[in-house]
């Protein structure tokens, strides 16, 4: 996709689905999103990390559901009418991502995406592709392949 810059020159751009976790906006590349579903009950699975809420049945396919709020060590909240499960592809697997709410779909020029700040070796930022300006605040662009571990994806089925 191309969009025009201020100088009139074409610029590559990416589309992001943005969503909220604890009033902070995050973005995922739209081509990784299969669908967005309202919250529905999740079947718990024993002996998985706490942020792996369990599994759900999506038209005959069993998907793991990861609570990104818990994955990011944010305070727990009650699920409500805005809580959604974003169905995304990670490599050759499909996974459900539990988020507080979906915000928008934004077109962002590649040159508008800035590198994540360096917080030093003690902070893992491999799962951050960068940050970009969205309205009056910064949005964190996530890298799902780095964010989710093999353990979290073990239950996931290959993409159809």
Per-residue pLDDT in tens (0 to 9) along the chain, 160 residues: 444 444 444 568 889 999 999 989 999 999 999 999 999 889 999 988 889 999 999 998 899 999 999 999 999 899 999 999 999 998 888 999 999 999 999 999 888 888 877 766 666 667 888 888 887 888 999 988 888 876 666 655 555 5
d(CA 55, CA 6): 46
Determine the structural domain holding residue 92 and report its residue range. Answer: 2-153
Token pair of 52 as six digits: 């792996």
Does any domain span residue 158?
Answer: no
Does any domain span residue 160?
Answer: no
Sign of the CA dihedral with 76 first, then 132, 104, and 153 last: negative
Does any domain span residue 31?
Answer: yes
d(CA 110, CA 10): 11
How many independent structural domains does the chain possess? 1
pTM over the 0.85 mark: no
Does any domain span residue 63?
Answer: yes
In the block, which residue shows the tokens 């081509």? Answer: 31
Does any domain span residue 30?
Answer: yes
């Amino acid at each position: 996709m191309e969009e025009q810059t201020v100088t009139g020159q074409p610029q590559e751009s990416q589309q992001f689905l943005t969503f909220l976790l604890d009033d902070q906006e995050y973005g995922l590349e739209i081509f990784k999103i299969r669908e967005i579903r309202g919250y529905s009950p999740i079947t718990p699975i024993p002996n998985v990390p706490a942020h792996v809420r369990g599994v759900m049945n999506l038209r005959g396919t069993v998907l793991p559901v990861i609570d990104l709020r818990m994955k990011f060590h944010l305070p727990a909240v009650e699920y409500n009418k805005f809580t959604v499960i974003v169905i995304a592809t990670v490599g050759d697997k499909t996974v459900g991502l539990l988020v507080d709410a979906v915000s928008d779909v934004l077109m962002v020029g590649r040159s508008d995406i800035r590198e994540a700040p360096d917080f030093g070796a003690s902070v893992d930022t491999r799962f951050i592709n960068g940050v970009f300006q969205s309205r009056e605040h910064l949005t964190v662009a996530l890298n799902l392949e780095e964010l989710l571990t093999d353990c979290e994806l073990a239950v996931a089925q290959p993409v159809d």
